[in-house]
Amino acid sequence: MMKIVYLAVVNNQNKREMEVVVLSALSIIGLHNAVDSIVGHITGRSLHSIVDRWSSDTLRLDKWLKPVILCPLCMSSVWGTIFYFTFSFFYGGGVLGWIPSVLAIAGAVTVLNRIR
């Protein structure tokens, strides 16, 4: 009986982790597309062209913004960490699942980018 309860708890925890991965990947792609679209509508140019124009040799704005908003795959490190710890705060979870979760989010973002 105890083994069945343990398997149900483990199965439920794996389900939550998969939900975090899928929701995070979709949120990252949606955030990137929304910001790119809003900037494009307001300025008439792409986000990348604006960042390239503002970047200088000393500031390197493109390197700072790449994991924040410019590159969906790179965004999975920053936003995946934020999403993982937000969900683990509410649903429980440890630090040990953080790196595999971020890697899974990066994989899901890659797959979803290739589909569209």
Contact 62, 55 (CB under 8 A): yes
Query: How many angstroms separate the CA atoms of 26 and 56, rounded?
Result: 32
pLDDT of 28? 94
Residues 6+ apart with CB under 8 A from 110: 73
Per-block mean pLDDT, blocks of 10 residues, the chain (116 long): 43 74 92 90 84 70 83 92 86 79 92 87
**What is the value of pTM for the model shown?**
0.77
pLDDT of 13? 65
Nearest to 20 by CA among 73, 77, 69, 91: 91
Half-sphere exposure of 84 (CA within 13 A, CB side): 23
pLDDT of 5? 39
Contact 29, 112 (CB under 8 A): yes
Query: How many angstroms separate the CA atoms of 28 and 76, rounded?
Result: 7
Query: How many angstroms separate the CA atoms of 51 and 63, rounded?
Result: 10
pLDDT of 18? 83
| Three-point CA angle 104, 79, 22, nearest 5° | 40
pLDDT of 11? 59
